[in-house]
Chain A
Amino acid sequence: MKLNLIINEIKKEIEISPDETLLTVLRKERYYGVKKGCGRGECGACTVIVNGRAKKSCLILAGQMEGKSITTIEGIGTADNPHILQEAFVSAGAVQCGFCIPGMILSAKALLDKTKNPAEGEIKSALDGNLCRCTGYVKQIEAVKAAAKMLKENNAGKYAVKKEKIT
């Protein structure tokens, strides 16, 4: 079947099979930043943002995405123009093996897009579906706090980040 959707702000028409998950389709389309860690919704490595909300792409059938807008890690920052969260994760030492990081950053982005000034509890709750076995989460929570602070202080210009929509 044909699937029409928007991936990282680009309209796409993709031929899919009805039983394929969004995870499978995105990796086939070479969005390799979407990782497969369990395929059962337990680890969060495959997290993407669907219409503003963080979701596990292994728990979505691609067919459900008709007309939806998807953001993957490839869509939020580049080498020359990283997202503030990517910058913050690097600075805080929050990236070890890095396999969980794209999903973790997207969960954090969905949070910061919605909540300008998250309390620690809100950060923990927003990231609770992204398992990491390397870091013990300490530096990742620090990173999200730092990113929120940077956004709040309107320091975003410093990183030449495309203006984030904050509601």
Chain B
Amino acid sequence: MDNLKEFHNPESLKSALELLAQPGEGIYPLGGGTSISISENKKIIQLVNLDNLGLNYIKDKGGRLVIGAMTTAQDIIDSTALNDISGTVLKKCAKTIGSQQIRNAVTLGGNTCGLFVWSDMPAMLLASNAEIHLASKENERKISAEQFFLKHPAQILKKGEICIEVSFPKLDNKYLGEFIKFSRTNFDKTIMNVCVFFYLKEKKIRGLKIAVSGCISLPRRLKELESKLEGNAMDEKLPEKIIKEASVIKENLNFISDMKASKQYRKKIFETIILDAIMGTVLFS
């Protein structure tokens, strides 16, 4: 950040977007600050602080939970509005992020758009069919989480464009859900995240959604696995079935290696963490 020259504290979304739309390179939005403040990015010349734009809110809007991009992980944990199953799972997810001081700083928008090694939200957003609301000076658009994470968000976001809001459908109370973060210690970055949602109809799994992150390069829904498990009975044979099907589909995944675990290890534990998430829903609800 050796070249940072200007720091803007705009007080409206409009002026923030105007600042970001200025011609030329080097203008970056600043969310919670957890990545930018330690960044060695020499391209950063101007920063636009998004803190005072009124983007910190959690609303229940026509059957959807709508969360402002500057809402912190701790705001999510403390929220009383997030009381359905997707809200509960989102809270569980937020609790696994970083340490207390980080949870006080990390924002939903930053965690989503930055796709940092400490981004634990994306699997949850994918499994809950979330919609990412983007805005720039010229344009506003909504894009599904699935589309959003097809590439690295940096490739999705256009110049001057930021995430201003994330929303997802409230799930009625027949739904079960779970989020699991598997890491070395409790205050750590993930080795593998899994989020699942489904409901039981006549004891059979319906509407199953499974998403993973941290173990492969981009977060993704596991639709193939979802379809293999859809309609299966929630009985004593299910764990075996999950292990079997997950073991098959993992052959098509490109696991990653990093300081926390090798790709071989991630591949080894893959089906176990999937199993824990699906079976955990029963305990969790």
Residues of A bordering B, CB below 8 Å: 1, 18-19, 21, 39-41, 44, 47, 50, 53-56, 58-61, 63-64, 66, 107, 110-111, 125-130
Residues of B bordering A, CB below 8 Å: 1-2, 4-7, 9, 30, 33-34, 36-38, 47, 49, 51, 74, 95, 98-102, 104-105, 186-187
The reply to whether B49 and A128 contact each other, CB–CB distance below 8 Å, is no
Across the two chains, which residue of chain A brings its CB closest to B78?
Answer: A114
- In the complex, which residues of chain B have a beta carbon less than 8 angstroms from the beta carbon of A39? 38
The reply to whether A64 and B49 contact each other, CB–CB distance below 8 Å, is yes
Bound-state Cα–Cα, A41 to B32, Å:
13
The reply to whether B30 and A59 contact each other, CB–CB distance below 8 Å, is no
Q: Would A59 and B37 be within 8 Å (CB), given that A1-B7, A53-B74, A107-B101 are in contact?
A: yes
Bound-state Cα–Cα, A63 to B9, Å:
8
- In the complex, which residues of chain B have a beta carbon less than 8 angstroms from the beta carbon of A18? 4-7, 47
The reply to whether B99 and A19 contact each other, CB–CB distance below 8 Å, is no
Q: Would A64 and B51 be within 8 Å (CB), given that A53-B74, A129-B102 are in contact?
A: yes
The reply to whether B47 and A54 contact each other, CB–CB distance below 8 Å, is no
Bound-state Cα–Cα, A1 to B98, Å:
31
B2, B98, B187 interface centre (most CB from chain A within 10 Å): B187
Bound-state Cα–Cα, A18 to B3, Å:
10
- In the complex, which residues of chain B have a beta carbon less than 8 angstroms from the beta carbon of A60? 33, 37, 105
Q: Identify which of A21, A44, A54, A110 contacts B37 (C-beta below 8 A).
A: A21
Of the A-B pairs whose beta carbons lie under 8 Å apart in the complex, a sample of 13, sorted by A's number, is: A18-B4, A18-B6, A19-B4, A44-B99, A44-B101, A59-B37, A59-B102, A61-B37, A64-B33, A107-B101, A125-B100, A128-B100, A130-B99
Question: Taking chain A's interface residues, is the majority helix, strand, or loop, or is none over half, making it mixed?
Answer: mixed
- In the complex, which residues of chain B have a beta carbon less than 8 angstroms from the beta carbon of A1? 7
- In the complex, which residues of chain A have a beta carbon less than 8 angstroms from the beta carbon of B102? 41, 56, 59, 129
- Expressed in whole angstroms, the minimum distance between the Cβ of A73 and any Cβ of chain B is 15
- In the complex, which residues of chain B have a beta carbon less than 8 angstroms from the beta carbon of A41? 34, 37-38, 101-102
The reply to whether B37 and A129 contact each other, CB–CB distance below 8 Å, is no
Q: Identify which of B30, B186, B187 contacts A61 (C-beta below 8 A).
A: B30
- In the complex, which residues of chain B have a beta carbon less than 8 angstroms from the beta carbon of A125? 95, 100
The reply to whether A129 and B99 contact each other, CB–CB distance below 8 Å, is yes
Across the two chains, which residue of chain A brings its CB closest to B187?
Answer: A128
The reply to whether B104 and A54 contact each other, CB–CB distance below 8 Å, is yes
Across the two chains, which residue of chain B brings its CB closest to A107?
Answer: B100
Instruction: A55-B101, A59-B102, A64-B30 are known; give 19 further A-B pairs, CB within 8 A.
Output: A18-B6, A19-B2, A41-B34, A41-B102, A44-B99, A53-B104, A54-B100, A54-B101, A55-B105, A56-B105, A59-B33, A60-B33, A60-B105, A61-B36, A63-B7, A64-B49, A126-B100, A129-B100, A130-B99
Bound-state Cα–Cα, A43 to B184, Å:
17
- In the complex, which residues of chain A have a beta carbon less than 8 angstroms from the beta carbon of B33? 59-61, 64
- Expressed in whole angstroms, the minimum distance between the Cβ of A4 and any Cβ of chain B is 10
Q: Would A58 and B37 be within 8 Å (CB), given that A107-B100, A128-B99 are in contact?
A: yes
Bound-state Cα–Cα, A1 to B104, Å:
26
- Expressed in whole angstroms, the minimum distance between the Cβ of B264 and any Cβ of chain A is 27
The reply to whether A55 and B49 contact each other, CB–CB distance below 8 Å, is no
B38, B49, B101 interface centre (most CB from chain A within 10 Å): B101
- Expressed in whole angstroms, the minimum distance between the Cβ of A61 and any Cβ of chain B is 5
Across the two chains, which residue of chain B brings its CB closest to A58?
Answer: B37
Bound-state Cα–Cα, A92 to B245, Å:
53
The reply to whether B38 and A56 contact each other, CB–CB distance below 8 Å, is no
Q: Identify which of A56, A63, A107, A110 contacts B49 (C-beta below 8 A).
A: A63
